Chain A
Amino acid sequence: MSDTVTTPKSFQEIILRLQNYWAAKGCAVLQPYDMEVGAGTFHPATTLRSLGTQPWAAAYVQPSRRPTDGRYGENPNRLQHYYQYQVLIKPSPPDLQDLYLGSLRAIGIDMDLHDIRFVEDDWESPTLGAWGLGWEVWCDGMEVSQFTYFQQVGGHDCHPVSGELTYGLERLAMYILGVDHVMDMPFNDPQTPIALTYGDIFKQTEEEYARWNFDTANTEVLLDHFVEAENECKAILAAEHDDPKTGKRIIMAHPAYDQCIKASHIFNLLDARGVISVTERQAYIGRVRALAKQCADAFVQTRAGGWQPEDAA
């Protein structure tokens, strides 16, 4: 059977199609997390919700920042700010590969003409204390997604296992739209009166952030921020489980995790500024991982993390 899906016209149409596709497949379509993160995995909808026994199905776009990848908007496909599309389903359904392939069809990839391959690629996040097994998915030799079965997050074994899909949106869209430089990619419909390219929206910000990331970010302030976030995270988690004001059991796993995210991003900035030596690097990663683990420990003590009031007895 030949698919009769039309080719999308713009970057945003690809995103909208993914949103519609995964909504139709029963995912809660969430909004991006309102903090600076390095990848869609850091969204608590993935990191924390992959823990515990509660079923979960979510999809969302996540703006992601990797300060070291900044190229002042000149490199055809390297950006310090880019978008990932993220899907997390727990427990991983038996037809997840087929669901995924359906999403490629939905964004205009004709399976009868292209060569799709699942090539071994094990995923590990030292900062999140997480790992999983899966593949990078190739379309005609190009990596278009990461496909991972989470085995461990924050030092906790995943039971049940979540299936995670991550689409690098710019690269995927450039391929589908036949664009060679990311800045030339139509962001909205090119036939529209006010047609905007990716470059119209992001060329200037890429320059501004590249300069700030590499040369002007105040490293002393950042170093202080790192320590503050680390301390705040620990302090939040050290609080009593029972809130003295409401008398309710309120473990503040999410506020604590926000601080962990913050520490992680500050580390990335410091790394881009080149003030972290090779040996220190490992130590910083270890400190973020320790926070992530403590947040995971806290989350599994909450209802969303599978805790039941009976567990207290």
Chain B
Amino acid sequence: MPDLLIELFSEEIPARMQKRAGEDLQKLVTNGLVEAGLTYASAAAFTTPRRLTLTVEGLLTESPSTREERKGPKADAPEKAIEGFLRGAGLTRDQVEERETPKGNVLFAVIEKPGRPAAEIIAEVLSQTVRTFPWPKSMRWGSGSLKWVRPLHSILCILTDEAGTEVVPGEVDGIAFTDTTEGHRFMAPGRFSVTSFEDYEKKLKRAHVVLNAADRSEAIWHDATNAAFASGLEVVEDKGLLAEVAGLVEWPVVLMGKIGDDFLDLPPEVLQTSMKEHQKFFSVRNPKTGRIERFITVANRETADNGATILAGNEKVLSARLADAKFFWENDLRVAKSDMSVWTQALENVTFHNKLGSQADRINRIAALAKELAPIVGADEAQAEEAARLAKADLSSEMVYEFPELQGLMGRYYITASGRNTAMAAAAEEHYSPLGPSDDVPTAPVSVAVALADKLDTLTGFWAIDEKPTGSKDPFALRRAALGIIRLVLDNNLSADLLGLCRKHMQTFEGFEQEKPFDLLGFTHDRLKVLLRDQEIRHDIVDAILAMKKGNNDLKFVVDRARALSETLATDDGENLIQGFKRANNILTQAEDADGVEYSYGADIKFAEEAEEKALFEALDAAEAKIAPAMEAQDFASAMQAMATLRGPIDAFFEAVQINADNQTVRRNRLNLLSRIRTLCLSVADLTKIEG
């Protein structure tokens, strides 16, 4: 059982692509081998900045030979049918057999495929894999036509068994397979040959390459935390950065450096962002004060001076970066402390969208809306309006221009510096939330008012100008905005006329048309269904509530009813009630169709003949008396419970009573009685939408 080792050695592969590339290599090669009949015991892939490596253990030495028999058309079938059969089998007429069957002479093709040696299959599969590799972005180089993520230099491909090691004969675009590779670019230049995976991994290590990305990550984290700990500090955890850095080095060497005293008073987020985004440094924090005091950089080599030159260079680069950040911070603070309206004025010259005006126009709209929403969310009107005016002011600040990801957060710092209260400062930071399904939802009233106003303005604006999401395209993140509104409303238990708010606000845009707010409400309902599905509330239940029209404009109202209905339907009574309702509804609909009338009124207990019939009258009277006031009081649980009590009487009624009585008066009365069931149930929810 030979083992296979493959290494694709190239110029530096972007860190973010390495993990996926290793997985793709493993999948494509092993799938290709198995498809060709070459099974294996185990496989594993590894990546470094310059190589993708795959080891496959316990391969078959050759693929099993196969014999396939195909039945074809009759021997006297039309020429075309026979030709097609032969083409499919890849045989000629004299290579197929004629066999007697009860239906006459039929053609049979016997296709025998002899087994093929592993090396031959590997060469084909590897060549195909390299040529069709799914890099997110690939390129050509030199005069060749092959595409790879960066120039591909060599392909190691060997088979190893007890007898020894052989290079699999093959090539891709002039790159012949070999048994050699290279070590670290600087610490161990030059090629060497390997005989097996163990030998490869060992020799790479000697040549200063740690093959396994997980080992590199672990080493980096271990050394980084140790270095920090020795100084009484801690490394700020950042898994994404760790994975990226592990993809930038083959021989990680952790170095801890100082941040100039001048910069230690910058907000920790600024230090962290600047160091991470520009330099890929980890931040090192003083656990006592929470301040960022040092940094960790990961070099790709050891040096005779133990990294002193490298660290000095990195510290110098960082100083230049932080000098910029400090300059921005101090300039920004000056503006914040004197007059932030300079920033909002500057936003008059920044286009938000050419049909929706400038950022300043947008802020004015949001401020007006936030004021309107304030009483609904329990915020002070003046405060909500001012908070909305300031929430995006930091977009004009120098710091946010440099680090857009700090928007909102810088707003909080600057509004605090301007002497305003913490509620307004918090609104600047929180009004973008929730950004994703797992992001926290703001709860402070001022923040909620601004966050809602921001999202409503975005949705109504883009709806007015007909820029709705289509299919997978949602360039303005409108689905996220709608979900944000839903979560803000539900998590804060807000009752609001969403349709009315949308309509009123949308009227401030050119392009408003009467039906657009309804369309937007429908879009929001669709998002709501997705959210509720994740909370195990079925879409047909939500549909049954939404079909009621009345109250649809209030998301909390919709969800409360959907939840109550969902809980009712989960009970035995609830489930059977649906069956009873559907039966009543079906009989009634059929009779109405046949008779051409609507049975909607006039059922009278005096025409009731059977005891079960009379009992149903009484049960309906009792339920009606409970449901109407419960609905009025928005006590859906009680309304649903009252509805569910009808299950017994309805079942009994259908059991004992024949609707189509000979006496027309009795029949009509019974149909009108069914109509009362329908009307009563439909006053709670449109149960016709319930599936099953």
Contacts and interface: CB of A to CB of B under 8 A. Distances in A.
Interface in A114-134: 114-120, 122, 132-134
Nearest to A158: B140
A111 B349 CA distance: 49
A114 B309 contact: yes
Contacts of A119: 12, 248
A113 interface: yes
Interface string A82-111: 000000000111100100000000000001
Nearest to B278: A141
Most B C-beta atoms less than 10 A away, residue of A114, A122, A140, A279: A140
Interface in B135-155: 137-143, 149-151, 153
B32 to A, nearest CB: 27
Q: Chain B's interface: helix, strand, loop or mixed, by majority?
A: loop
Interface stretch (B69-77, B225-233, B296-304): B296-304
B299 A115 contact: yes
Contacts of B12: 118-120, 135
B303 A112 contact: yes
Query: Size range of the interface on A?
Result: 35 or more
Contacts of A141: 279, 281, 297, 313-314, 317-318
Most A C-beta atoms less than 10 A away, residue of B249, B312, B316, B354: B316
Nearest to A122: B137
Interface in A235-253: none
A36 B140 CA distance: 31
Most B C-beta atoms less than 10 A away, residue of A133, A135, A139, A278: A133
Given A114-B313, A115-B300, A116-B186, A161 B140 contact: yes
B182 to A, nearest CB: 12
A120 B16 contact: yes
Given A91-B142, A113-B310, A76 B248 contact: no
B354 A120 contact: no
B11 interface: yes
Interface string A153-176: 000001111010000000000010
Interface in A6-24: none
B320 A151 contact: no
B138 to A, nearest CB: 8
Contact of B313 (A97, A111, A175): A175
A142 interface: yes
B304 A120 contact: no
Interface string A251-287: 0000000000000000000000000011100000000
Contacts of A92: 141-142, 151
A149 B314 contact: no
A140 B151 contact: no
Interface in B1-47: 11-12, 14-16
Interface in A214-254: none
Interface of B: 11-12, 14-16, 49, 137-143, 149-151, 153, 186, 248-249, 279, 281, 297, 299-301, 303-305, 309-310, 312-314, 316-318, 320, 323, 349-351, 354
Ranked nearest first, the 7 interchain pairs of A and B with the lowest CB-CB distance are A140-B313, A120-B14, A118-B12, A141-B314, A160-B143, A115-B299, A113-B309
